[in-house]
Chain A
Amino acid sequence: MSRNTEVFVIGGGPAGLSAAHVAAKLGAKTLLVDDSARVGGQLIKQTHRFFGSSNRDAGIRGITIADKLQQDIKDVAARLTVLENTAAVGFYHNKEAGILSQNAYERVTYQAAIVCTGATENSLTFENNDLPGIYGAGGVQTLMNVHGIRPGQKILMVGSGNIGLIVSYQLIQAGVEVVGLVEGMPTIGGYLVHASKIRRLGVPIHTSHTILKALGTDGVEGAVLCRVDEKFQPVPNTEFEIKCDCICLAVGLTPLIDLFQQAQCRMVHVGELGGLVPLHDSSMRTTNPDIFVAGDASGIEEATTAILAGRIAGARAYEAVHGKSAEADAIVAEAREELRTLRSGSTGERIRWGRERVLKEAGEC
């Protein structure tokens, strides 16, 4: 069984939905696949209001942005086919890919592909880190905000980046006690307004601390924390126990890049972007000229930047099939400018450095 399309988008999170919408709106026959039951990526769990510019969804809850993007793709249904519960499983020669849906395998022939596979959660090494009750932050969000189930009664959060801070607040909203937040660095990693929100509700934030072990045999019953020095080494005699029935790990994300490697795209390791990412230019094109990338698969960032990069990739993928277009150019120029503003300021330094590093390797600056 085989399908033919012009633009093939893999992944229906904010990047993929935006890319598919732009490509289809410009006029390309587009196919979008997503391995979940419902498109929207991580947005469907984000109950909080997004930051960024009011011109682009700031102040609006992630779940509402997901609804908007889902409505956008309905508007271009004439040119866009969406297959949920469908995983892209391989890239082959001659612009062919394989997709698997409910045990049915199909080939897809495409002219340009946009891979928006997002990221996976990191784990952390400590004694008993495999106990039931130790969940990734995304897993906790899924359980609470999608399935309506609390992960526990007393939760310890590890990691003070935006995800750790935001999910801590969401846990409190769901009626869970957050017994503490642990951060290895001496300063809080995420936006300080997020930290203030949980601090004033009584959540202690233990900076310069780490988790040594989880306690329990059949499940989490507590944890042992200790202070760390500037070299992140445990400081002797500073251990203390904290009671909890759930430990949430918010210790970073790693881009999901298997498909790029299959397609023999050149990869580059950039720590600031979360690890290995496909080398790409400012049009989001990889070293394989038919394959574009957008969203967290290109480097860990946020939904707002994923949407903008998706728009760039969608526009350029359209052009790869139908030739240069002034409309596509305008979309790219607008998105680039918005990305520049979002990434400016001191909080954007790491990301800017990471993104510039990729462009440099790609020969663009």
Chain B
Amino acid sequence: MLKNDGIITPEELAPVLPPPARLEKGPVAIIECLQDIPCDPCVSACPTKAIKMKEGITDKPLLDFDACTGCGLCIARCPGLAIFVINMKHTPGMAMVSMSHELLPVPEKGQEVTALDRAGKVLGKVKVVRVINPPAYDRTAVVTVEVPAGQVNNIRAIRV
């Protein structure tokens, strides 16, 4: 359970996962922020205003999956490093996961890295398909890796 060991269970994750129909359309954000903490940079980061907090900054962020374009601007802005973008629209059997990366070394495109799940367990090797690390991201790189489609909601960290 998340509050006992820091690992989100599938049941806890379900409410923030987009429906299959949306996943088929292309990249979409998964905001793994399940606690009502006072925090709202994701709301202003989103260019399509897809993230909402109705009551105030302690709301859990609510993502309108259809308004989300999967641009990933929210990934680098989240102080909790809790936002991921997944893209199921890829070569058959494969998908992409974009995540924040604030460690050294920052990987390079084409590099093979080790994929980890939420418990830090090694799931295998994956290829880096994109790295964005502009000054505007203030030293939070966003790394996109190519993963087996079945692991798209398990891979949440990389070891370079």
Q: CB within 8 Å of B: which residues of A?
A: 48-54, 58-61, 64, 172-173, 175, 186-188, 191-203, 205, 207, 341-348
One of B4-12, B22-30, B86-94, B126-134 at the interface:
B4-12
Q: CA separation between A50 and B38, bound complex, in Å? A: 10
| A346 neighbours in B (Cβ, 8 Å) | 35-36
Q: Which one of B56, B77, B80, B120 contacts A203 once the chains associate, using CB atoms below 8 Å?
A: B120
For A61, A192, A194, which residue has the most chain B Cβ atoms within 10 angstroms?
Answer: A192
Complex contact A58–B80 (CB within 8 A): no
Q: CB within 8 Å of A: which residues of B?
A: 2-8, 32-41, 43-45, 56-58, 77-82, 102-104, 116-121, 138, 140, 156-157, 159
Complex contact B35–A191 (CB within 8 A): yes
Known contacts A196-B2, A196-B32; A345 and B38 CB within 8 A of each other? yes
Least distance between A86 CB and chain B CB atoms (Å): 33
Q: Which one of B32, B35, B119, B157 contacts A347 once the chains associate, using CB atoms below 8 Å?
A: B35
| B118 neighbours in A (Cβ, 8 Å) | 196, 199-200
Q: Which one of B3, B37, B80, B120 contacts A345 once the chains associate, using CB atoms below 8 Å?
A: B37
Complex contact B6–A195 (CB within 8 A): yes
Q: Which one of A48, A49, A61, A199 contacts B119 once the chains associate, using CB atoms below 8 Å?
A: A199
Known contacts A58-B79, A344-B58; A201 and B41 CB within 8 A of each other? no
Complex contact B82–A347 (CB within 8 A): no
Complex contact B120–A201 (CB within 8 A): yes
Closest B residue to A305 using CB positions: B38
Known contacts A54-B43, A173-B103, A192-B6; A197 and B37 CB within 8 A of each other? no
Closest 8 A/B residue pairs (Cβ): A193-B80, A345-B58, A202-B120, A195-B6, A59-B41, A199-B6, A49-B79, A200-B157
Least distance between A305 CB and chain B CB atoms (Å): 10
Least distance between A87 CB and chain B CB atoms (Å): 33
Complex contact A53–B40 (CB within 8 A): yes
Least distance between A332 CB and chain B CB atoms (Å): 20
Complex contact A193–B32 (CB within 8 A): yes
Q: CA separation between A344 and B40, bound complex, in Å? A: 13
Known contacts A197-B80, A348-B58; A51 and B6 CB within 8 A of each other? no
Complex contact A194–B80 (CB within 8 A): yes
Q: CA separation between A264 and B56, bound complex, in Å? A: 40
Q: CA separation between A137 and B138, bound complex, in Å? A: 25
Complex contact B80–A191 (CB within 8 A): yes
Known contacts A341-B57, A346-B36; A196 and B79 CB within 8 A of each other? no
For A64, A172, A344, which residue has the most chain B Cβ atoms within 10 angstroms?
Answer: A344
Q: Can you offer 27 A-B residue contacts whose CB atoms are under 8 A?
A: A51-B39, A51-B79, A53-B40, A53-B57, A58-B41, A59-B78, A60-B138, A173-B102, A186-B4, A191-B80, A192-B35, A193-B33, A193-B37, A196-B6, A196-B8, A196-B80, A196-B118, A196-B156, A197-B81, A199-B6, A199-B7, A199-B120, A202-B120, A345-B37, A347-B35, A347-B37, A347-B58
Closest A residue to B43 using CB positions: A54
Complex contact B6–A344 (CB within 8 A): no
| B82 neighbours in A (Cβ, 8 Å) | 193, 196-197
| B45 neighbours in A (Cβ, 8 Å) | 59
Q: CA separation between A81 and B159, bound complex, in Å? A: 48
Q: CA separation between A290 and B138, bound complex, in Å? A: 42
Apart from A195-B2, A205-B6, A342-B57: 20 A-B pairs, beta carbons within 8 A = A52-B40, A52-B57, A53-B38, A54-B43, A58-B40, A59-B77, A188-B5, A193-B33, A193-B35, A193-B37, A193-B78, A193-B81, A199-B120, A200-B119, A201-B120, A202-B116, A203-B120, A342-B38, A343-B38, A344-B58
